Structure 1
Amino acid sequence: MALFLLVTHGSDGDVLPFVSLGAALVRAGHRAVLLTHAPYREAAARAGLGFEPIDGEDAFERVLADTPHLLGGTRARLGWDAFYRRNGMFEQIAAECRTLRRLHSPGETVLVGRHTSAVSVRFTAELLGAPAAWVALAPTQLMAAPVAAHLYGTELADGLQAVRAGLGQPPIRDWRAWFAASDAEIGLWPSWFDAAGTRSPARTSLTGFPLPDGTADALGARQAGPTDAPGTLRGGPADGPADVFGGAFAPGVRPVLATGGTGRMLDPDYYPALVAAAAETGLPTLLVVRHRDLLPASLPGNLRWSPGLSFAAAVPRAAAVVHHGGIGTTARVLASGTPQVLMADGIDRPDNAARLARWGLARTVPAARWRTADLPAAVRAAASDHGYRARARAVAGLPDPHGAQDAAADRLVRLLDRTETAAPDGSVRDRLRDLPPRDLERIRARLRLRLDRPATAAPADLPATATPVTGPAPADRPATAIPQQATARTARRAGDAPDGLLLGVER
């Protein structure tokens, strides 16, 4: 029985895939512990995972509220170093490293981190000589790795190097080589999606889209209940699977579902524009928004609001889904065969939208057109698109609730078989000679990192970073918000650090 330590940061689209990946590892007979935000404790427990919170619930919400300031188009835009120091991110990385070291069991542990953000996984793996894997949730995480490497080596260099110094590790001289030196790189999307845009590196194992909402509920999820006041729903259990909208609409009505995910990293006009377009269509619409303050105070008569519901149950019964283009929502809607309209802006979303559009599987409306007739027209067209399900099945096939998670789990389990002694029929030199150039470069990168290590033993107790901070202790600090995805459009808009290098790929 192996032990898998899983680290991720963000909102549902970043966390729930790790919950379902952990569940797949547990089904295979292993142990898994999830290190992530405090609100996901119950989801981890239901999936049979151990849980280590990396923040408190209040701290988690404070960071979410701060993330819109990282978008390039906002007037109060923060720099990354300022954001990290303001929210105690460097201290959070050091605390994660201490937790990973405490939980690590030599010879039977694999460290698994969300690509780009979970640097604690890679730092600790270097320290302990343990196998480590990156898990990427969307293609842009891989596309933007060189940009993230540049940012880590410039704007964030002092803070990250202080963390490494506290671990007894040397500075990283070549961040690009460091990114490429993991023991495995897993991409949670299918090959047809990969082929619709910039291809993933050859070293990436593609497993398909996970459907994690079948394993864990979304934050805020509850069945919609009866109307308390115009435009507002109170929570309450539905009468059955046919009533997934909790009596919000007349029997037989298939409403439009509209959402922006469970986070806050959205253009300030996202929800106002969405509400205006929904009102113009006149179609019965349910707004699934965890944070009510993101919506206008009053809603038109054809709109209802719910803080959350089961998308696995509700999406197949919706006429269409209008959303932000987060990878988790995109995958669920596609698997349900429900027409979708993407208001994609920032992070991985424009790239996700473009890949679906190339296969004819999404209508997309960029931010510059949200306030035009394009958005309500796209919603009406989607709601009457009765051929979408057949097109989706032709491209993506039938959904497999556990296929992607099981494939990723199998790839991780194989990392424990990396006791690479010389083969009986040839020397190590012969084996190296037969490797492809990409694999040789990865080996060179890993050797450079190992040669950079100090010869002295690591301290018995890992100290916190030397950078002084004020505020709550690390256990109550908000989670690491790490730069990640970039697209050409967002890079052009931001001017300095692309706004695509953001907190999370969202649900």
Structure 2
Amino acid sequence: MKIIIVTLGSVGDIKPFIWMGRVLSKVGQHLVFLTNPYYEKQITTEGFEFHPIGTIDDYYIAITPPVTTGNKFKDKAEGVKAVKRLFNYLYLKPSKDIYDIVTRLKTPDTIILNHFCVYGAKIAAEKLNIKNININLSPYCLRPFKAVDSFSALIENRMVKVIYNFFDNQLIKKTINNIREELGLKPLKKNSAEWMFEGINWYLFPNWLLNFKLSNDLNTNFVGFPESLKGENNLPDNIMDFFKTHEKPILFTPGTAFQDNKNFFSEAVITLEKMSKPGIFLTKFKDALPEKLPENIIHAEYLPLEHLLDKCCAIVHHGGIGTCYEALKAGIPQLICYRIDEQKGNSHAIKALGVSNELTFKRVSSKLLLEGLEIIHNNDVLIKCNEISKKLHVERTEINLLMYFEKVQAI
């Protein structure tokens, strides 16, 4: 059977699909990977057949941060432009190319596994009559499908639909409907979430992470968190040497795709000094760092979190679901400084577990970081962290994935 995996986004949107590819290739499936060429080396190293979607320039344009002017209204407008840029260059622009590639690669037994925002894969599946599985990585995107079991839930449901419809009309539907018309498909009448989530859905997180009930109409298959990509390099010598003299540091990582981190790291330096704690700063954007770091702080462009976090006492991060998972598995408290709505949703879900604090990225200051990091001294939090870590270490995610895959094969 040929499985065409189609995903786009940051590292956190790519790794779960690599994990699925590893699991399915072990049982003899032929894996084909479609993503931005920025990740080509990572994909081909796995031995997967690779086909590029878009260009590396598209990726860098998509992740360009909004311009900061200091004017509240102008900054809001720049933020909207940044969201449009992200969706246009990562998810919308490649849609017709995805359809063309799938058309060329498909076989009678093809199945598509697509990221929940890769609209071109959904169009290809619909037009070419191919089975597709919509892969959802976090609880946030399930908001339109909350069970309406109270008046307040009804109001919230309607508000979410209004927001989605506005977002679609401003950004998505024109491009998608133009492609659909070109291919002889009817224009979308549903909002983009309802369209993408109709049919088979796999959720790469456990059902206990949801802090709300889902509608019975939604197809729900909770696979669980994807396992860490074991086989990545161990920690480098300079980091291991740092641990010898700096016990249990705090890790600060604002996300791989975000560049505007100067305030985040400068306030982190002050915070660590006041706490008399060592720290690790993780970013590939060196110009975001202070000119000179004190001796109790070390910088790295990249470190595998699965090898790092159990040596730390806490993590301060952006709220990406992959980072949330690695921190849960390591059993350490989290301070989540979220930027966008999806990260905010992830943050609320983690906070509801009793293992984190949160604040918006724009409000990051040494004062609020200090307050948020008081969590590392909270005994109840540490006990809860340990309980969840144990639970994740015994979950059988790979078995769940193969079980759901067998069900799809049988359809």
Band of TM-score, shorter chain = 0.7 to 0.9
The answer to whether structure 1 residue 408 and structure 2 residue 401 are counterparts is yes
Distance 2:280 2:354 in 1: 25
1:122-161 aligned at under 5 Å gives the runs 122-143=122-143, 146=161, 147-148=163-164, 150-161=166-177
The answer to whether structure 1 residue 191 and structure 2 residue 207 are counterparts is yes
1:416-495 aligned at under 5 Å gives the runs 416-418=409-411
Shift of 1:367: 4.2
Q: Which residue of 2 aligns with 1:255?
A: 249
Q: Amino acid of the residue matched to residue 94 of structure 1?
A: K
**Which of 376, 394, 402 in structure 1 is aligned with 2:387?**
394
- Contact residue 66 and residue 79 of structure 2 kept, 8 A: no
Task: Tell me the SS of whatever aligns to 1:77.
Answer: helix
Q: Amino acid of the residue matched to residue 272 of structure 2?
A: A
Distance 1:86 1:130 in 2: 25
Distance 1:339 1:273 in 2: 19
Which of the two has higher C-alpha Rg? 1
The range that moved more, 18-27 or 363-372, is 363-372
Distance 1:371 1:64 in 2: 24
Deviations 1:431-472 (A, max 9, x none): xxxxxxxxxxxxxxxxxxxxxxxxxxxxxxxxxxxxxxxxxx
Tell me the matched-pair count: 390
Deviations 1:391-428 (A, max 9, x none): 2343464434883344234323422322xxxxxxxxxx
Q: TM-score under structure 2 normalisation?
A: 0.83
Shift of 1:29: 1.8
Gaps of 5+ in 2: 146-160
Q: Amino acid of the residue matched to residue 51 of structure 1?
A: F
- Contact residue 153 and residue 175 of structure 1 kept, 8 A: no
Q: Which residue of 2 aligns with 1:95?
A: 97
Q: Which residue of 1 aligns with 2:157?
A: none
Shift of 1:83: 2.7
Q: Which residue of 2 aligns with 1:441?
A: none
Q: Which residue of 1 aligns with 2:150?
A: none
Distance 1:408 1:167 in 2: 33
Deviations 1:321-370 (A, max 9, x none): 11111110110011011222222232322222222222211122344653
**Which of 350, 359, 362 in structure 2 is aligned with 1:356?**
350
Distance 1:185 1:152 in 2: 21
Distance 1:167 1:269, change over 3 A: farther
Kindly indicate which of the two structures has a greater share of residues assigned to helix: 2
- Contact residue 9 and residue 90 of structure 2 kept, 8 A: no
Q: Which residue of 1 aligns with 2:280?
A: 286
Task: Tell me the SS of whatever aligns to 2:178.
Answer: helix
Distance 2:21 2:209 in 1: 24
Distance 2:18 2:66 in 1: 23
Shift of 1:148: 3.8
Task: Tell me the SS of whatever aligns to 2:242.
Answer: coil
Task: Tell me the SS of whatever aligns to 1:156.
Answer: helix
Distance 1:188 1:67, change over 3 A: farther
Distance 1:338 1:357 in 2: 13
Distance 1:303 1:74 in 2: 34
Shift of 1:312: 0.9
Shift of 1:297: 3.5
The range that moved more, 300-309 or 318-327, is 300-309
Q: Amino acid of the residue matched to residue 167 of structure 1?
A: L
Q: Amino acid of the residue matched to residue 371 of structure 1?
A: S
**Aligned Cα RMSD in Å?**
3.2
Task: Tell me the SS of whatever aligns to 1:204.
Answer: coil
Distance 2:261 2:240 in 1: 30
Q: TM-score under structure 1 normalisation?
A: 0.68
Distance 1:22 1:314, change over 3 A: same
Q: Amino acid of the residue matched to residue 290 of structure 1?
A: K
Shift of 1:136: 0.6
Q: Which residue of 2 aligns with 1:162?
A: 178
Q: Which residue of 2 aligns with 1:470?
A: none
Identity %: 19
Q: Amino acid of the residue matched to residue 49 of structure 1?
A: F
- Contact residue 211 and residue 401 of structure 1 kept, 8 A: no
- Contact residue 283 and residue 301 of structure 2 kept, 8 A: yes
Task: Tell me the SS of whatever aligns to 1:32.
Answer: strand
Q: Amino acid of the residue matched to residue 115 of structure 2?
A: R
1:237-248 aligned at under 5 Å gives the runs 237-238=236-237, 245-248=239-242
Distance 1:406 1:274, change over 3 A: farther
Q: Amino acid of the residue matched to residue 34 of structure 1?
A: F
Distance 1:285 1:17, change over 3 A: same
Q: Report 1 or 2 for greater relative contact order, CA contacts < 8 Å, sequence distance ≥ 6.
A: 1
Q: Which residue of 2 aligns with 1:346?
A: 340
Shift of 1:31: 1.5
The range that moved more, 249-258 or 12-21, is 249-258
Shift of 1:40: 2.2
